[in-house]
Amino acid sequence: MQIPTVEELAAQLQAVSGADEVHPDASIQNIADVDSLDLMEWLYNFQNEYPGIPADESLFKDIDETTTMRTVHARLEALASETTAV
Amino acid sequence: MSGFKITGWGAAVPEQVVTSAELATRFGVDEDWVVSRCGIRERRVVEPGQTTASLAVTAGERALAVAGLTGADVAHLIVATATPEQPSPATSAFVHHGLGIAGSAHDVNAECSGFVYSMVSAAALMRIDPRPILVIGSDTHSLTVDPADRDLGILVGDGAAALVLEPTDRDWLQAWNLGADGSCTDSLKVLAGGSRMPTTGATVAAGLHFAKINGNEIYLNAVRFSVRSVRATLEQAKVQPEQVAHIVPHQANIRIVNSMLSHTGLDPQRLVSNLDRYGNTASASIPLALSEALDAGRIRDGELVLLAGFGAGMTWGSVLLEWGGTTR
């Protein structure tokens, strides 16, 4: 199943949050103007766009300093491949 | 078969104001963080002696006065609350006595969707017994929050508001949608005090009588379910989002409200909101905002008014009214 590139995911979060910049490798927790509700809004949009990928709030359950949009992208790829395998 | 019209409305909020600046100091955050997080600048909080029922009685008195009725004219009283006067009897019994209601009384607990659930229940009741119904939403969630809980502490406020419904051939109710998903009971909960976990010294010591929220889950589910409900209601009425003149959502968090508006295509300019002044007053939030809009003369005959709520459970519901009614 095709999912957006990591750059597209970062751009989507930037649009939702209104942050000046969301770099794919920036620690999400340290991006000014991005908080957990922005992540949920981004996730809601993603769920609508990709209903076949079982992404939910657990995507950010263990978020820490090391979590970036590249991390999120990798998790989504794993979810997509699990879904395809089934 | 009779429809309903709204002939009276009224609200009651405590006088004590707690500002977001005060809470910011208490929780060690910036006021801007609080306001940007939820859109709430201040909220009203009960003082000793003020209760869910006392607020409901005041709101009910005001609504009955607007309608030109007394408690003796009311055939049915419905009180929506999730913060009852005491575990037993129902809060509506206390309100029934306080207002001198002649007819029946019962509570509805659908959390923050409670008022919408009550409106739909009242509409059904009106069809089999076309006599005046008083519907009140009243909550005092400030009393259920752990004083150290920042996530919930910044959100909740106390208040009550009421509507008087009377029978009419020109039904104001155009469409409705109610729903629930009981798999989401962990999102917002009070664990102790019921049959599953009766109150003991240990539960109190552990703070299990306080409400606990999973903010992310609530956000996601609130948006998902309220969007679904609003779409279903508009579709049922064959109404386009741009035809809705006034949107009165549950005043939970301005970001949830904005998200719901954006995903349903409803016009943000038509939002009726007092969230910045009262916070999340749960069952009271929709009628409180509606009462203020009516007092301000904002709503006119022929206009479509959408009420939309969501709450713990999860529960959700929406109602589309045509002010002044229709024969269609």
Give the pLDDT confidence score for residue A82 in this predicted structure.
Answer: 83
Give the tens place of pLDDT for each residue, B9-49. Answer: 999 999 999 999 999 999 999 999 999 989 999 999 999 99
Nearest in space to B160 (alpha carbons), one of B256, B85, B89, B75? B85
Percent of chain A at pLDDT exceeding 90: 84
Q: What is the mean pLDDT of residues A48-58?
A: 93
Predicted local confidence at residue A86, as pLDDT: 54
Q: Are B120 and B93 in contact (CB under 8 A)?
A: no
Judged by average pLDDT, the poorest of A53-62, B134-143, B171-180, B259-268 is A53-62
B238 by Cβ neighbours in 10 Å (0-12 / 13-18 / 19+) ranks as: exposed
The token pair at B188 is 């917002």
Which of A38, A41, A62 to mutate to probe the B interface, most B CBs <10 Å?
A: A41
pLDDT surpassing 60 at residue A14: yes
Mean pLDDT comparison of A15-19, A56-60, B230-234, highest-scoring range? B230-234
Contact flag B215-A37 (C-beta cutoff 8 Å): yes
Closest chain B residue by Cα to residue A37: B216
Residue A83 pLDDT greater than 80, yes or no: no
Q: How far is B295 from chain A (nearest CA, A)?
A: 33
- Return the residue in B150, B155, B220 with the most chain A beta carbons within 10 A, the one to mutate for interface testing: B220
Instruction: With beta carbons less than 8 A apart as the criterion, state whether B162 and B177 touch.
Output: no
Report, as an integer, the average pLDDT of B221-226.
97
Q: Does the beta-carbon distance from A44 to B259 stay under 8 Å?
A: yes
Residue A74 pLDDT > 90: yes
Cis-peptide into B314, omega within 30 deg: yes
Residue B184 has pLDDT above 80, yes or no: yes
3-state secondary structure chain B: CCEEEEEEEEEECCCCEEEHHHHHHHHCCCHHHHHHHHCCCEEECCCCCCCHHHHHHHHHHHHHHHHCCCHHHCCEEEEECCCCCCCCCCHHHHHHHHHCCCCEEEEECECECHHHHHHHHHHHHHHHCCCCEEEEEEEEHHHHCCCCCHHHHCCECEEEEEEEEEEECCEEEEEEEEEEEEEECCCEEECCCCCCCCCCHHHHHCCCCCEEECHHHHHHHHHHHHHHHHHHHHHHHCCCHHHEEEEEECCCCHHHHHHHHHHHCCCHHHECCCHHHHCECHHHHHHHHHHHHHHCCCCCCCCEEEEEEEECEEEEEEEEEEEEEECC
B1 band by pLDDT with thresholds 50, 70 and 90: low
Active site residue B112: yes
B202 pLDDT above the threshold of 60: yes
Q: Bigger pLDDT: B230 or A84? A: B230
Does residue B216 sit at the A interface (CB-CB below 8 Å)? yes
Q: For chain A, what is the mean pLDDT?
A: 92
Q: A7 CB near a chain B CB, below 8 Å?
A: no
pLDDT band of A61, cuts 50, 70, 90:
confident
Contact criterion met (CB < 8 Å) for B216 and A35: no
> pLDDT at position B327, please?
56
Tokens 């309100």 locate to B95
Does A85 score more than 70 pLDDT?
Answer: no
The pLDDT tens digits for B42-57 are 999 999 999 999 999 9
Average pLDDT, chain B: 97
Rounded Cα–Cα distance for residues B88 and B214 (Å): 28
pLDDT greater than 90 at residue A54: yes
Q: How far apart are CA B261 and CA B220, in angstroms?
A: 14
Residue B8: exposure state from Cβ atoms within 10 A (0-12, 13-18, ≥19): buried
Average pLDDT over residues B80-106: 98
- Residue B132 makes CB contacts below 8 A (sequence gap 6+) with B67, B69, B73, B74, B75, B164, B165, B166, B167
Helices B215-237 and A36-49: angle between axes, nearest 10 degrees: 50
Average confidence (pLDDT) over B262-280: 98
Q: What average pLDDT score do residues B171-199 get?
A: 96
For residue B280, indicate whether it is catalytic.
yes
